[in-house]
Amino acid sequence: MYFESREQAGQILAEQLLQQYRYEDCAVVALSDGAVVVGEQIAKALHCVLTMLLVEDIQVPGEGMSFGGVSQNGGFTYNGMFSAGEMEYYTSEYHGYLEEQKRLAFQKINRLLGDGGVIDNELLRDRVVILVADGLDTGASLDVAVDFLKPIRIKRLVVATPVATVQSVDKLHILADELHILDVKTNFMGVDHYYDQNDIPSHEDTIAKINQIVLNWR
């Protein structure tokens, strides 16, 4: 399944979610800049807050796979796709590299956040949280998001994305209460491949927009 744009994909997901969550107290949490474009359509339909969880991915050197991610509270979460043996090997083999990348990732997040921050836990507490991606490959960002949400009391965790891999869907059945996925791929070609238009605002512009939305919501 292909989409004209992230806006179009978001509108399709919004139609799916509208009937069930129209009268619920919801919060849409986007997992990337592209996910903000998708999530904005859902938030508009549900008349709810839209915010963003900043996650910096750390890659295994030379292997094109995610080691894990750092969230905006400084926590690091390993990619849940790794077995215990693989995790132990990579941690031992790349310990110095990993620690340095964690430090750099958190510095980058802090520069982007500035003084304001993006997520206020109180915006999520006791709400249905709808985690939105524009595409899910390994699902590593979801591991980070779930760890971030653990201390926050929420009513329900819903995940919505236009496209995802079989592996990430298998993981989602464990992590989330409900899934809304428009297409599941066995051979994932990269997120941008499934959109005709790939114009995404810069990270800085996206965060400025999110902070303004949150300010207006308050």
What is the 3-class SS of the chain, one letter each residue?
CCECCHHHHHHHHHHHHHHHHCCCCEEEEECCHHHHHHHHHHHHHHCCEEEECCEEEEECCCCCCEEEEEECCCCEEECCCCCHHHHHHHHHHCHHHHHHHHHHHHHHHHHHHCCCCCCCHHHHCCCEEEEECCCECCCHHHHHHHHHHCCCCCCEEEEEEEEEEHHHHHHHHHHCCEEEEEEEECCCCCHHHHECCCCCCCHHHHHHHHHHHHHHHC
List pLDDT tens digits, range 81-119: 788 888 888 888 888 888 888 888 888 777 766 544 457
pLDDT of residue 120: 74
Q: Which of 64, 94, 113 finishes a domain?
A: 113
Quote the pLDDT of residue 115.
47
Asked whether residue 1 is assigned to any structural domain, the reply reads no
Tell me which of 75, 95, 113 is where a domain ends: 113
Is residue 67 located within the same domain as residue 164? no
What pTM value is reported for the model?
0.82
Average pLDDT estimate for 115-144? 82
Q: Region 184-203: what's the mean pLDDT?
A: 92
Report, as an integer, the average pLDDT of 128-143. 87
**Domain assignment present for 174:** yes
Of residues 119 and 71, more confidently modeled = 71
Domain identity same for 67 and 146: no
Residues 137 and 207 in one domain: yes
| Share above pLDDT 70 across residues of the chain, in percent, rounded to a whole number | 93
Tell me which of 52-61, 96-105, 160-169 is least confident: 52-61
For residue 157, give its domain range. Answer: 6-55+116-217
Residues 123 and 208 in one domain: yes
